[in-house]
Chain A
Amino acid sequence: MKESLNRGRTFAAVAGILSLALLAGGLSARDENWRPAAPEVETPSFPYSGGFTFARIRFEPTIWGGGPFMWGLDLKWNHDYPFAEENFTRIVDEITDVEVQTEGGNVLELSDPRLFEHPWAYLCEPGFWNPTEEELENLRSYLLKGGFLVIDDFFDIRGYPVQWENFERQMGRLLPGYELVPLTVEHPVFRSFFVLDDINFDIEDARFYPVRGRIYGVFEDNDPSRRLMVAINYNMDIGDFWEWSETTFYPVDVTQKGFKLGVNYLIYGMTH
């Protein structure tokens, strides 16, 4: 019995190894750029209104699956959609003079020419971002022409910067030679509407990852004295603050700061 058990275990082990080997072989035989196709989902579209319409970048993530997000799918780009933009644009409408679409925002792929009608855009979960060359070309043109991009919501456990490494790689493909410059509180983006004396968004709570957030920037002509083209919230998720602002999920002060930072990004992007 024990022998048969052993034989059975041996068989299972061999079968398992063979299966893994086959799977590994099958994976390695695929195209380097292969990614699992995310399902096509419909999103509302707002026509050009002459004012500000929130633009969220949709991309095909390297991994996707089920999750607590829109349509019960974790497509990565859809984190906090659509509540984040709905709440954010309402706040913008409430406190600023910006003419804003408050019903929600547009979801656009980087290859969509309509992206160029939205000079301010938002992208989340870049840890799972692997854009095509065409998408990179478009985004590069968008940024160098004067577009402003906010990148939000990606985390790494200390010592394992997997998401950062992917993001850094993709940014290297997007803007070769451009540096990701850590921003300090003195940068004008933190004074463009609200004066933020503190840009620490970490929450000391056991429910959340013990991470240290940091804001990075990519500058026009790689010159930190010039226009900030891309603002990067690493180990931070202000979209989440916007999404959950109607609940007590996050502390009020951090939620407020999340809105303030978002408004500052918007005003900076519309004035610089």
Chain B
Amino acid sequence: MVGLFEFLFKYRPALFEEGRFTFVSPGWMQVAALLAGALLVIAAFTYRRLGAGTADRTAGADRLRWLPPVFRSLAIGVLVFCLLQPALVLSTVVPQETFVGVVVDDSRSMAMPDEAAAADGTRAGAVLEALSGESGSMLDRLAERFQVRLLAFGRSAERIESTEQLRFGRADSRIGEALVAASDELAGLPLSGLVLLSDGADSAPAELGDALLTLKAAGTPVYTVGVGRPRLRKDIEVSRVVAPRRVLEGSTVEVEVTLSQTGFGGRTVDLEVEDDGRIVNLEQVTFPRGGSAVTARVMFAANDEGAREFRFQVAGQPDEELLLNNERTALVEVLKRREKIFFFEGEPRDESKFLRRAVSQDENLHVVSMTRQAANKFYGMNFDEDTRRFEGFPTRREELFEYSGVILGSMEASFFTHDQMRMLVDFASQRGGGVLLLGGRRAFSEGGFAGTPLAELSPVVLYDRPADQGRPELMTDLRIDLTPQGRGHPATLLRDDRDEANELWPTLPPLSAYQRATELKAGATALLQAESPMVRDPMIVLAHHRIGRGRAIAFTPHDSWHWQMSADIPLEDQTHERLWRQMLRWLVSYVPDRIEVEADRDRFEPGSTVTLRATVRDEAFQEVNRAQVVAAIEQPSGEEVEVPLDWSVERDGEFVGTFTARESGLYRVEVDARSEGELLGVATSRFAVDELNEELFGAARRDSVLKRIASETGGRQVGLGQADRLVEDLSVSSEGTLVREARDLWDMPILFLALVALLGGEWAVRRRLGMA
């Protein structure tokens, strides 16, 4: 398209955009206009006379009569336009007085063999040939008009004297930082612009936008030259791994792994999960035929305490172009600690006994229970020296908020004061805790939750049930099965094998429930449901939704203990134990601590700046801004560095500090938060420093990046073999030492073609009318 434009109009659209249109000889204008007017009058007169003398007039001939004068007039107009000497005024650089920085990507991804233009087929080869090849090299062409400075970049840009210094072996390629560094390097010189030769693979953690703003402010246009193919022919890539940063020991870890591919549609590959060289899961993933990416949900048990590096990899396929992007690692901290859960039960019943019994052997869960045995008579269990004692339900936030989760059994809403109900909602929404609502004769609608703050917690829609309706009816023989969302969910995965787990549910003994829960609230998800002859729609058995920072879960059956006691369940069966262990771990997963610290990512390149963010809250989980927060960082060598963290001002309770991680290996951060000398708490976190090869992911040429850099800085994207065009674009840049130059437009081919077409058209019409 651009080529056609250039053929017709003599110059590329870019030059028309840069330049200003003018007529070089304005003195001719009046004479030319008079002449043109006179010619038009003569022409009109001639045609009128000719028409009157024609004997055989027809209707068709009448319609065409006006055309010849129009064609003739336009042809004269074109000639007049040419006589006026139209021109394009451009600001061009003064030869050898301005500078151009040529910034070459020197990273490993440039060794990719996907550039047909090069003799050796690599991107690097193509760049070298284009820059300093024998025929019309880019550097030579640029040097004809500019002072050229050559720079190579990986993490940052450095001056090099010749292309021989390029190695194409750097592990990183941070385009934004490199361009800013190059602009700084050439600051103070009349700079026409930078030429970036890259595949667009940017491994920088920071958004490119900041760097582009800096370049724009400095008035440095960047002309980008892309190398490589915009799409690899055959490649599989582990493009994304989303894993939790922390899990409890023995928990099922759920990780989302996105695999991208080109050329392998329909193929089934093995996705392996390794923990310290040991395969902990193997998932078969089939790529869709039409699409390119697929996201697999992988689950495995995290049984070993400490910081674990889980590796997710797909074995290289025989004909694959790039194998280094077939794996990624995720750092997961497996914690051995006891999450505290408060179980408040409204009546002694087998369900609560068996639930507590199911998790009693789990060292990571500490269930403290308070059971109402009779009116105003409570029985507390499992309180220890770490837990505050209270009678009934807590009345102070500090008492409740020290737990990560709350289980609410069969307890009617009227038992609670309004403040207690509000506090329970705040426990989820503000403290970020998990609330599990169990079914029972006094729970949900049957317990009068509707219209109270407790209704906010319920993921199922509640209805008003007057208290004088008596004991609710028990629905029995509920056969429970998974919903589509429940298949493969970590809470419902009762067997290691996912298919086996899915098939297990309908075979479990039927349960019963008092709750007629058939409608989900907006935003809630059901994981389990059951059919009952007593209700028309499927009954919701397990559902959850988010409430502010936290989460609420509803489990409506009244007697899951049958899955432990039933005569059909073998003694050694662990289904019931596993269900409740998983459920309670899910309940308290991602529940924030009072003091928390996190690095901005879990893995960094050596030399990276690590930003540490700590959140500090008091016992009632109110953010604290006036605190002294210090991070002690234990480096892989064992050496410890202290970094003070300061209040970020942007958010309450947030403290930030930075640290440069030079050593490779695993780092441990321990944050100590104090207020007026008193210890508020400590928190720990880990991160890893390693060569990440980020640029090998999404390794095809990234035109979107290159285009964005060019358009946001006022530059342009050009092809590898378009050195002439590049020189021309740089020459008419508004930067550098400039001179005005007028370029003729009267000889544009379009004008000649227009003239020929108009005169030819006139002749044809006249011939048709018999006037030729």
Contact = CB atoms under 8 A, between A and B. Distances in A.
Contacts, number: 82
Contacts of B349: 51-52, 98-99, 270
A68 interface: no
Interface stretch (B206-214, B459-467, B554-562): B554-562
B564 A98 contact: no
A271 B441 CA distance: 18
B561 A119 contact: yes
A74 interface: no
A149 B672 CA distance: 52
Nearest to B570: A141
Interface string B373-404: 11101010100000000000000000000000
B353 A193 contact: no
A116 B353 contact: no
Interface string B347-376: 111101110010000000000000111110
B566 interface: yes
Contacts of B353: 119, 146, 269-272
Contacts of B483: none
A99 B512 CA distance: 15
A145 B565 contact: yes
Interface string B531-575: 000000000000000000000000000110110111111010000
Contacts of A193: 373-374, 377, 379
A116 B567 contact: yes
B374 A95 contact: yes
A145 B571 contact: yes
B476 interface: yes
Contacts of B568: 113
A192 interface: yes
A271 B350 CA distance: 7
A236 interface: no
A146 B565 contact: yes
Interface in A12-51: 48-51
B474 interface: yes
Interface string B331-355: 0000000000000001111101110
Contacts of A217: none
A50 B352 contact: no
B348 A271 contact: yes
Contacts of A192: 379
B559 A50 contact: yes
Contacts of A96: 348, 373-374
Interface string B571-603: 100000000000000000000000000000000
A50 B375 contact: no
Given A145-B565, A146-B565, A193-B373, A98 B347 contact: yes
Interface in B469-493: 474, 476
A3 B277 CA distance: 104
Contacts of B564: 145-146
A231 interface: no
A258 interface: no
Give the interface centre of B348, B352, B373, B564 by most chain A CB atoms within 10 Å. Answer: B348
Contacts of A145: 564-565, 569, 571
Interface string B302-336: 00000000000000000000000000000000000
Contacts of A119: 350, 353-354, 561, 565
Nearest to B371: A271
A50 B512 contact: yes
A116 B354 contact: no
A267 B372 contact: no
A126 interface: no
Contacts of B354: 119, 146
A97 B352 CA distance: 14
B352 A271 contact: yes
Interface in B117-133: none
Interface in B189-226: none
B58 to A, nearest CB: 101
B565 A116 contact: yes
B514 to A, nearest CB: 8
Interface in A96-112: 96-99
A135 interface: no
Interface in A63-111: 95-99
A168 to B, nearest CB: 24
Interface string A229-272: 00000000000000000000000000000000000001101111
Contact of B348 (A48, A142, A144, A270): A270
Nearest to B568: A113
A82 B534 CA distance: 34
Give the interface centre of A95, A117, A142, A271 by most chain B CB atoms within 10 Å. Answer: A271
B681 to A, nearest CB: 32
A203 to B, nearest CB: 29
A147 interface: yes
Contacts of B381: 271
Contacts of B561: 119, 146
A50 B351 CA distance: 10
A174 to B, nearest CB: 14
A116 B566 contact: yes
Interface string B412-455: 00000000000000000000000000000100000000000000
Nearest to A141: B571
Give the interface centre of B347, B379, B476, B565 by most chain A CB atoms within 10 Å. Answer: B565
A142 B352 CA distance: 18
Contacts of B375: 97
Nearest to B349: A270
B558 A50 contact: yes
Contacts of B569: 145
A272 to B, nearest CB: 7
B650 to A, nearest CB: 49
A98 B19 CA distance: 91
Contacts of A267: 348, 373, 379
A99 B377 CA distance: 16
Nearest to A140: B571
A97 B347 contact: yes
A95 B349 CA distance: 15
A147 B562 CA distance: 11
Contact of A147 (B374, B474, B565): B565
A50 B474 CA distance: 7
A95 B566 CA distance: 29
Contacts of A141: 571
A144 B564 CA distance: 10
Contacts of B566: 116-117
Contacts of B476: 48, 50
Contacts of A48: 476, 512
Contact of B565 (A117, A270, A272): A117
Contacts of A115: 567
A113 B347 CA distance: 26
Given A50-B559, A95-B374, A192-B379, A270 B567 contact: no
Contacts of A52: 349-350
Contacts of B558: 50
Contact of A97 (B348, B357, B512): B348
B513 to A, nearest CB: 9
A90 B559 CA distance: 23
Given A145-B571, A147-B565, A192-B379, A97 B350 contact: no
Given A97-B372, A99-B349, A49 B474 contact: yes
Which 4 residue pairs across A and B have the least CB separation, nearest first?
A: A113-B567, A97-B347, A270-B348, A116-B567
Given A50-B476, A145-B565, A227-B357, 12 more contacts: A48-B476, A97-B346, A97-B372, A97-B375, A119-B353, A141-B571, A146-B561, A146-B565, A192-B379, A193-B374, A270-B349, A270-B353
15 contacts: A48-B476, A49-B474, A50-B441, A50-B514, A52-B349, A96-B348, A97-B372, A97-B374, A116-B565, A117-B565, A119-B354, A144-B571, A146-B353, A266-B348, A270-B350
Interface of B: 346-350, 352-354, 357, 371-375, 377, 379, 381, 441, 474, 476, 512, 514, 558-559, 561-562, 564-569, 571
